[in-house]
Chains A and B, each alone.
Chain A
Amino acid sequence: DIQMTQTTSSLSASLGDRVTISCRASQDISNYLNWYQQKPDGTVKLLIYYTSRLHSGVPSRFSGSGSGTDYSLTISNLEQEDIATYFCQQGNTLPLTFGAGTKLELK
């Protein structure tokens, strides 16, 4: 199975900050990397798929980049509604696997 590592389990930032969340795969996943946002009430939403493609309705302050084994999600201008936990997920090979999540908190 492909292991997905999010080395930062929690991150503190201020409103308006630029925030970057990282994710590393245990092998090359050929850009098949997706990002999800989970709110404290458990609601999960897709943000970005295939490394950098923005899902419909997702604000443009979210962006993704990366290649090979290393990927990142950037929030360019942090807003209150972005306070959540962010998970990466590889879609290269079954079984599909997720990172452990990065919890974003307000400083």
Chain B
Amino acid sequence: QVQLKESGPGLVAPSQSLSITCTVSGFSLTSYGVHWVRQPPGKGLEWLGVIWAGGSTNYNSALMSRLSISKDNSKSQVFLKMNSLQTDDTAMYYCAREGRTTVPYYFDYWGQGTTLTVSS
């Protein structure tokens, strides 16, 4: 079955960078795109970006200067890297699979999320 699982550092100091890994199973990254979405505590969802099956990316312009998404198809892993972290980057970070139908831009399966706290 389709599964996505995020793993990350949990706690990062302000101004530092982070890397979160999304490990997928039940499908191939050469066939599906994977998105990143975050949710600050008690708030709504924010789309961060996507890496498509072919390797191209799109980012939320509000964060683009600090974000990088990459992947290793052979390891079934997608990576989110963000630099210059601030306290308002504290959030639950989710990876989610792009639904592959003729309809674009929706997420048919989500990971359980990984919590990131930015604090000194």
Contacts and interface: CB of A to CB of B under 8 A. Distances in A.
B44 A44 contact: no
A92 B104 CA distance: 8
B44 A34 contact: no
Interface stretch (B7-15, B19-27, B68-76, B105-113): B105-113
Interface of A: 32, 34, 36, 42-46, 49-50, 53, 55, 87, 89, 91-92, 94-101
21 contacts: A32-B104, A32-B105, A34-B106, A43-B110, A44-B94, A44-B96, A44-B113, A46-B107, A46-B109, A49-B108, A53-B103, A89-B45, A89-B107, A91-B106, A92-B105, A95-B47, A95-B60, A95-B61, A96-B105, A97-B47, A98-B45
Contacts, number: 60
Contact of A89 (B62, B106, B109): B106
B92 A42 contact: yes
A50 B103 contact: yes
Given A44-B113, A91-B104, A94-B105, 18 more contacts: A32-B104, A34-B107, A36-B107, A46-B106, A46-B107, A46-B110, A49-B99, A49-B101, A49-B103, A49-B108, A50-B106, A87-B45, A89-B107, A94-B58, A98-B45, A98-B46, A98-B47, A99-B44
Interface in B75-103: 92, 94, 96, 99, 101, 103
A32 B103 contact: yes
Nearest to A53: B103
B58 A44 contact: no
Q: How large is the interface on B (under 10, 10 to 19, 20 to 34, 35 or more residues)?
A: 20 to 34
Nearest to A98: B45
B112 A42 contact: yes
B110 A45 contact: yes
B44 A96 contact: no
A99 to B, nearest CB: 7
Contacts of B104: 32, 91
Which are the 6 A-B pairs with shortest beta-carbon distances?
A: A91-B105, A96-B47, A98-B45, A34-B106, A44-B110, A50-B103
Contacts of B92: 42
Contact of B106 (A42, A49, A95): A49
